[in-house]
Structure 1
Amino acid sequence: MKKVWLVTGASKGLGLKLVEKLLASGYQVAATSRKLDDLQKAVGEKSENFIPLETDVTDEASVEKAVRETIAHFGNIDVVVNNAGYGLAGALEELTDAESRENFDVNVFGALNVIRKVLPHMREQGSGRIFNVASIAGFIGSFPGFGIYCATKFAMHGFSESLAAEVEPFGIKVTIVSPGYFRTGFLSSASLKVPKHEIGAYENVRQVQKVHENEYNGNQPGDPEKAATAFIKIAEQQNPPLHLFLGQDAYDLAESKIKAVQKDLDTEKELATATAFVTA
């Protein structure tokens, strides 16, 4: 029997491609967006296999309503994809407290709201799959101007690893998805916010920002349809990976981070491990 999927942030980008691929493959899908009209225009009206849901992931009541309506329509939820989120560019000094917290509210606390509301159902049925869509920027953070965004995705990596250990006894599997650059609208103004008050001294940040907006945007190497296929195949695996890096660029960056960490471990091992109490 085909699984029931709940996908957040599904009116555009990777979430939209995933929903389209799922429906074309015969799955039952509930999809959320902040604006119902956007979702209906992108995917379609409510049907036997699809329900569009206007949901604010930062609002617990809104998330609870979406979960409740999904179960009422399909009877259960098998797979959850925490995809809702947005990019934020800007040096740490430039971004206000409000701008930074808003990014965390959506990218981190929004996903946690979904997890809290769906887990009672998954625990009761003794099964479930949770995909938390992070980013390669949640594994390697050396991108000038993306510190807060990286922090939100590093947070997702951290709580997802703990979540995987917590829910394993209930038959629930967790996969952290870390995409590289995929050809979606993620780098457009609708999905990538910039500081309201820029500081002229940060020329390196402006350069990275301009490259992302003008050179990478529309030229990303990753095919989102192939990414959607990967999601579906992983969801069908009996023992899915905890970490899923998507794209050759994501693999290359992850491997460079692992090598850099290993180098630091080896270089300072003698000093850093000589820290225990010495007993007579």
Structure 2
Amino acid sequence: MNTKKVWFVTGASKGLGLTLVKALLARDYQVVATSRKRQSLIDAIGNSGNFLALEMDLTNNDDVVKKIETAVNHFGRIDVVVNNAGYSQIGTLEELSDAEVKRNFEVNVFGALNVIRNAAKYLRKQQSGHIFNIASIGGFAGNFPGFGIYCSTKFAVAGFTEALAVEIKPFGVNTTLVYPGYFRTDFLSKGSVQTPATPIEAYATAREVEAAHLNEIDGNQPNDPEKAAEVLIAVTEENNPPVHLFLGEDAYDMVFNKIKIITDTVELWKKYTLSTAY
């Protein structure tokens, strides 16, 4: 295994990002980690010669440019980019404000695009590398009441990642879209997840789903983030890594549930589907 690869991980002060950074450093990889606050990275990870902690505003393209340049100047290159930063915005489509929706897209979608846009030129020039975009099983199956905006950001990540995979592959750069199920991190904890500023009482089902995520699922997720980190590291060593990577038995089941729904629906309404031809 090449232990000199340089990893660039966003959203690394907690959750899967933090777990991944710790696993990488334990294996002597060189790691650049970013977060909104640099001190949170230092507090969580400490200092070492293989580790560079950077405070970065994902939504500010100029700041992303500077921090990627800093990373390249420090370690000489970047080999693996992990777009992990993001947060869950709970709320139905009616009750979320324009500002709440835009903020979720700014971080989850446009933040990742800022990193890709500015890291790709280095990977393309060196004719090697790997980009991981962390979506969610909610970016494949969006039928979660109260999570429509969050899921839509992850559907967007899935869409542009499929295009990126074929755009950048000719330059020797691999791309993997990761769809995690529920992992036991603080992703659903207070301070990480955002609830609607102006909830509408009529949406009883959405409130029930919201309460279940915050009070029952949080802390009881079935998947281990340390095992997820092991998978990501292992995938970079594959000769032909996957573009689509589902993580977790729950994610696995949701994939086939949706495939069945789509297949059954297409067949049921086939006469309309095929009726539009000349």
TM-score band w.r.t. shorter chain: over 0.9
Matches within 5 A, 1:11-90: 11-45=13-47, 47-90=48-91
**Counterpart AA for 2:119:** V
CA distance in structure 2 between the partners assigned to 1:36 and 1:169 by the alignment: 35
Following TM superposition, by how much is the alpha carbon of 1:61 offset from its aligned partner in structure 2, in angstroms?
A: 1.3
CA distance in structure 2 between the partners assigned to 1:233 and 1:19 by the alignment: 14
**Counterpart AA for 2:195:** V
| Structure 2: runs of 5+ lacking an equivalent | none
- Give the 3-state SS of the residue equivalent to 1:238 in structure 2: coil
Runs of 4+ in 1 over 2 A off after TM superposition: none
CA distance in structure 2 between the partners assigned to 1:270 and 1:234 by the alignment: 42
CA distance in structure 2 between the partners assigned to 1:48 and 1:39 by the alignment: 15
CA distance in structure 2 between the partners assigned to 1:191 and 1:226 by the alignment: 22
CA distance in structure 1 between the partners assigned to 2:108 and 2:211 by the alignment: 23
Among candidates 6, 9, 28, match of residue 7 of structure 1 = 9
CA distance in structure 1 between the partners assigned to 2:183 and 2:221 by the alignment: 5
Matches within 5 A, 1:260-279: 260-277=261-278
For these two proteins, the number of residue pairs brought into alignment is 276
- Give the 3-state SS of the residue equivalent to 1:189 in structure 2: coil
**Counterpart AA for 1:125:** Q
**Counterpart AA for 1:131:** F
TM, length-normalised to structure 1: 0.97
1:187-217 deviation line (CA, Å, top 9, x unaligned)? 0111100111011101111110000000000
CA distance in structure 2 between the partners assigned to 1:242 and 1:60 by the alignment: 26
Partner of 1:197: 198
CA distance in structure 1 between the partners assigned to 2:272 and 2:218 by the alignment: 45
Matches within 5 A, 1:21-170: 21-45=23-47, 47-170=48-171
Following TM superposition, by how much is the alpha carbon of 1:270 offset from its aligned partner in structure 2, in angstroms?
A: 2.7
CA distance in structure 1 between the partners assigned to 2:28 and 2:238 by the alignment: 18
Partner of 1:208: 209
Following TM superposition, by how much is the alpha carbon of 1:26 offset from its aligned partner in structure 2, in angstroms?
A: 1.1
Following TM superposition, by how much is the alpha carbon of 1:111 offset from its aligned partner in structure 2, in angstroms?
A: 0.2
CA distance in structure 2 between the partners assigned to 1:271 and 1:104 by the alignment: 34
Following TM superposition, by how much is the alpha carbon of 1:271 offset from its aligned partner in structure 2, in angstroms?
A: 2.3
Partner of 1:177: 178
Deviates more, 1:264-273 or 1:219-228: 264-273
1:29-64 deviation line (CA, Å, top 9, x unaligned)? 00000001111100113x321000000111111111
CA distance in structure 2 between the partners assigned to 1:16 and 1:196 by the alignment: 29
1:112-164 deviation line (CA, Å, top 9, x unaligned)? 00000001101100011000000000000000000000000000000000111
Following TM superposition, by how much is the alpha carbon of 1:276 offset from its aligned partner in structure 2, in angstroms?
A: 1.3
1:217-251 deviation line (CA, Å, top 9, x unaligned)? 00001100000000000111111101000000000
- Give the 3-state SS of the residue equivalent to 2:254 in structure 1: helix
1:45-86 deviation line (CA, Å, top 9, x unaligned)? 3x3210000001111111111111111111110000000000
CA distance in structure 2 between the partners assigned to 1:13 and 1:226 by the alignment: 13
| Structure 1: runs of 5+ lacking an equivalent | none
CA distance in structure 2 between the partners assigned to 1:49 and 1:175 by the alignment: 24
CA distance in structure 2 between the partners assigned to 1:127 and 1:114 by the alignment: 17
- Give the 3-state SS of the residue equivalent to 1:245 in structure 2: strand
Following TM superposition, by how much is the alpha carbon of 1:274 offset from its aligned partner in structure 2, in angstroms?
A: 2.1
- Give the 3-state SS of the residue equivalent to 1:73 in structure 2: helix
CA distance in structure 2 between the partners assigned to 1:62 and 1:116 by the alignment: 13
Deviates more, 1:255-264 or 1:7-16: 255-264
